[in-house]
């Protein structure tokens, strides 16, 4: 029996299974063979779990370096990624790199490099617009190779995030929803009590957690600065929904407290890339799961 994996074309791929069977499989553009197993795309959840197991870590690198000189920025970003690649389980890109380098350059350099290290990538787009604009952005990020996008549930479903989930589901990619941000000011809105039809109040973040479950999001963002909120979201969402927690280190959150409260992954930027020894800093974030 021979099985083929077509990793570089858009269209239909033909796979021979056994003597006479010809299996036609729809394939889209895969920027790296690291994302493909037997002709099928490996899901974001599986890729990040594998990297977490292999590297013994739950740290996602937020690669947000800033530099007015684009070639120096690209070089330094690649060096940081290279130096910590065996100590992280994913890479999150934000506007710092995309605005300075352009999306295509980020895809061709950083996303590709992450794929070469078998690390999945998240675009921190915080999508929060009407449907056709959200859909365009989600499709573009996915087609540039990102495995997951971050979106804000405040836009609602109909003609809001429906297009983001459509784009993700049809490409086997993932959507992570903001549920409680890590900055101190987040409390103003995310903790607000919203009146329910039965007259009782419910904090906004609990409503957003319920929406993440209802919409089958592949994860939620809850700031590491809020361990009590993390516990509550874990309680409401059950054991399987991944909780991604930014806000450790530079923003004051404690990695151990966040993981003990129920976070699945930590998102860490400045504490790693601003360190004089990024690998040593990334190693420190492995400590809470080793003990």
Are 46 and 71 contacting, i.e. CB atoms less than 8 angstroms apart? no
Cβ distance to ligand FNU smaller for residue 250 or 289: 250
Cβ distance to ligand FNU smaller for residue 35 or 59: 59
In Å, how far from its chain's centre is CA 260? 21
- Find the binder of ligand FNU among 107, 212, 258, 267 (CB under 6 A): 267
Distance CA 278, CA 276 (A): 6
Q: Which of residues 197-256 bind ligand FNU (CB under 6 A)?
A: 221, 223, 246-247, 249-251
Distance CA 138, CA 125 (A): 9
Binding footprint of ligand FNU, residue count (CB under 6 A): 19
278 binds ligand FNU (CB under 6 A): no
Minimum Å gap between C-beta 223 and ligand FNU is: 5
Distance CA 176, CA 44 (A): 11
In the chain, helix, strand, coil percent, each to 5?
A: 45, 20, 30
181 binds ligand FNU (CB under 6 A): yes
94 binds ligand FNU (CB under 6 A): yes
Residues 109-148: x where in contact with ligand FNU by CB under 6 A, - otherwise, as a string: ---------------x------------------------
Residues 6+ apart with CB under 8 A from 253: 182, 223, 224, 225, 245, 247
Q: Of the residues 112, 126, 172, 202, which is catalytic?
A: 126
Q: Is 280 a catalytic residue?
A: no
Catalytic residues: 126
């Amino acid at each position: 029996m021979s099985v083929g994996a077509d990793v570089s074309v858009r269209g239909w791929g033909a796979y021979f299974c056994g003597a006479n069977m010809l299996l036609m499989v729809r394939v889209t553009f895969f920027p790296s063979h690291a994302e493909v197993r037997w002709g099928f795309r490996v899901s974001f959840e599986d890729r990040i779990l594998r990297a977490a197991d292999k590297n013994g870590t739950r740290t996602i690198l937020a690669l947000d370096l800033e530099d007015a000189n684009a070639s120096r920025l690209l070089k330094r970003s690649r060096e940081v990624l290279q130096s910590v690649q065996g100590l992280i389980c994913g890479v999150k890109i934000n506007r710092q790199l995309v605005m300075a380098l352009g999306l295509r350059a980020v895809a061709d350099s950083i996303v590709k490099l992450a794929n070469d290290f078998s690390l999945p990538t998240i675009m921190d787009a915080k999508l929060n617009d009407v449907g056709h604009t959200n859909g365009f952005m989600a499709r573009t990020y996915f087609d540039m190779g990102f495995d997951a996008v971050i979106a804000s549930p405040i836009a609602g479903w109909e003609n809001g995030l429906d297009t983001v989930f459509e784009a993700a589901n049809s490409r086997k990619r993932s959507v992570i929803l903001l549920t409680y941000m890590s900055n101190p000011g987040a409390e103003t809105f995310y903790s607000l009590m919203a009146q329910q039809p039965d007259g009782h109040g419910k904090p906004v973040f609990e409503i957003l957690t319920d929406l993440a479950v209802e919409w089958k999001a592949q994860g939620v963002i809850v700031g590491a600065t809020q361990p009590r909120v993390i516990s509550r979201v874990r309680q409401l969402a059950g054991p399987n929904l991944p909780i991604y927690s930014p806000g450790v280190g530079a923003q004051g959150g404690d990695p151990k407290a966040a993981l003990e409260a129920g976070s699945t992954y930590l998102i860490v930027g400045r504490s790693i890339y601003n360190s004089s020894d990024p690998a040593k800093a990334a190693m420190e974030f492995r400590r809470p799961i080793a003990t």
